[in-house]
Amino acid sequence: MTYLAKPHLHHPTLTRNKVGYTRRDYEGKISTLCAGCGHDSISAAIIQACWELDIEPHRVAKMSGIGCSSKTPDYFLGASHGFNTVHGRMPSVLTGANLANRDLLYLGISGDGDSASIGLGQFANAMRRGVRMAYIVENNGVYGLTKGQFSATADRGSKSKKGVINSDSAVDLVGIALQLGATYVARSFSGDKEQLVPLIKGALGHGGAAFIDVISPCVTFNNHVGSTKSYDYVREHNEAVNRIDFMDTHSEITTKYAAGSVVDVPHHDGTMLRLRKLHADYDPTDRLAAMAYMNERQAQGEVVTGLLFVDAHATDLHQALNTSSSPLNSLGVSQLNPGNKTLDKINAGLR
């Protein structure tokens, strides 16, 4: 919507983080999405999360598929390499990129059309393999770029802008991610930055496949009465199970919590997720209980948000494959080529 470029000069009073970057250094190009689009709020949350985590922008590789959501990596982390791939196939490209260089952080941005329809297979298999990444689906239940068709996450009975009632049941990506072994599963709302930023931070610090389903209303095609992905609907039905504080283990914990109201989840990179429980009986480290809870609440029309499941001891595809600790893309002839003596032996064995 905005067509005026932001000035390049940074105000000298802007706060720098530990690696010397201001928040502006994590921005990208001017968004071309509609004014009020939930996706822009998610981009802002990603910028905030990366700045707060002191990540050097060029250590992130951002990948996406096709659709409104998949355009957004151009609008944040301008100093990172980005790859806008083909429809529904970001997970495979991200998997390959991750295999090539395990030292970078991988941020996959997708939409509900991209991940729940054409890309459901790739979404599912990336979760199964435990590719280390933060996978964010910007979920608005609608195809925006092609002007308002239902997507596969649209709830049965919800109404399109043109008045059509959706008769198909919805694909629940959170439920699928939980079932397939994702080790960090969250749902959030683009309109709740306070909840979303720590969830993104937790996902970026996670040691395995992290998935966040972010309900992100489409202001142009899916923000009307009868939609279950509108700002109003989500605000009314949002049922948060917890709030996250993200901290590194060295910082002093000053806040006092009532006994039993806090779950601490240490991360392999030395950071700590502190979950403040909003539901005393919700245990985010119990996968089966999380699945049962989700099913139960969703049946009542609630949109359950928060960190729904986390496995602090998550492993990833590199560990499963026992790949070299040096990135594969940094290996040279001496590590990769078995040499002539070996080749002579191979030749001899083939006679």
Partner 1 sequence: MKRIEAINDFVIKFANVNGSGSASANELFAKAILRMGVSVSPRNIFPSNIQGLPTWYEARVSKRGYHGRRGGVDMMVAMNPQTWDADVAEIEPGGYLFYDSTRPMPKSKFRDDINVIGIPLTEISNNAYADPRERQLFKNIIYVGALSMLLDVEVSVFERLFAEQYKGKERLLDSNVQALNLGRDYVKENVAAPDLPLGIRVERSDFVGDQIFTDGNSAAALGFVYGGATVAAWYPITPSSSVPEAFQRYCDKFRVDAASGQHNYAIVQAEDEMASVGIAIGAGWNGARAFTATSGPGVSLMTEFIGLAYFAEIPVTIMNVQRGGPSTGMPTRTQQSDLIACAYASHGDTKHVLLFPDDPHECFEFAAMALDLADRLQTPIFVMSDLDIGMNQRLCKPFKWDAAREYDRGKVMSAADLESGREFARYKDVDGDGIAWRTLPGAHPTLGSYFTRGSTRDAYARYSERGPDYVYNVQRLLKKFKTAAGLVPQPELRPAQQTTRLGVIYFGSTSPAMIETLDILAAQGIHLDAMRLRAFPFPDSVERFIADHDLTYVVEQNRDAQMHTMLVSELDINPACLMRVLHFDGTPITAHFIARSIAKSAAASAIVAKNFPVQSEAA
Which residues contact partner 1 by CB under 8 A? 56-59, 61, 63, 73-74, 78-86, 89, 91-101, 103-104, 121-122, 124-125, 129, 317-318, 321-325, 328-329, 331-333, 335-340, 342-343, 346-347, 350-351
Q: How many other β-carbons are positioned within 10 Å of the β-carbon of residue 337?
A: 10
Interior/surface letters 124-135, b for 16+ CB within 10 angstroms, e for the rest: bebbebbbbbbb
348 Cβ partners below 8 Å, 6+ apart?
none
Q: Which is nearer to partner 1, 299 or 350 (CB)?
A: 350
Cβ atoms of residues 223 and 178 within 8 Å? no
| Residue 109 beta carbon to partner 1: minimum distance, rounded to whole angstroms | 12
| Residue 77 beta carbon to partner 1: minimum distance, rounded to whole angstroms | 9
Phi/psi-derived region of residue 63, left when phi > 0, alpha when psi is between -120 and 50, beta in every other case: beta
Q: Which is nearer to partner 1, 253 or 346 (CB)?
A: 346
Q: Which is nearer to partner 1, 255 or 322 (CB)?
A: 322
Cβ atoms of residues 107 and 49 within 8 Å? no
Q: Which is nearer to partner 1, 89 or 187 (CB)?
A: 89
CA proximity to 107, closest of 53, 46, 176, 189: 46
| Residue 71 beta carbon to partner 1: minimum distance, rounded to whole angstroms | 9
Q: Which is nearer to partner 1, 90 or 241 (CB)?
A: 90
What 3-state DSSP class applies to 233? helix
Q: Which is nearer to partner 1, 59 or 313 (CB)?
A: 59
| Residue 321 beta carbon to partner 1: minimum distance, rounded to whole angstroms | 5
CA 73 to chain centroid, in Å, comes to 12
| Residue 85 beta carbon to partner 1: minimum distance, rounded to whole angstroms | 6
First-to-last alpha carbon distance for the chain, in angstroms, is: 69
Give the pairing type, strands 142-143 and 149-150.
Answer: antiparallel
How many whole angstroms separate alpha carbon 23 and alpha carbon 25? 5
Q: Which is nearer to partner 1, 74 or 311 (CB)?
A: 74
| Residue 235 beta carbon to partner 1: minimum distance, rounded to whole angstroms | 33
Q: How many other β-carbons are positioned within 10 Å of the β-carbon of residue 225?
A: 8
| Residue 342 beta carbon to partner 1: minimum distance, rounded to whole angstroms | 6
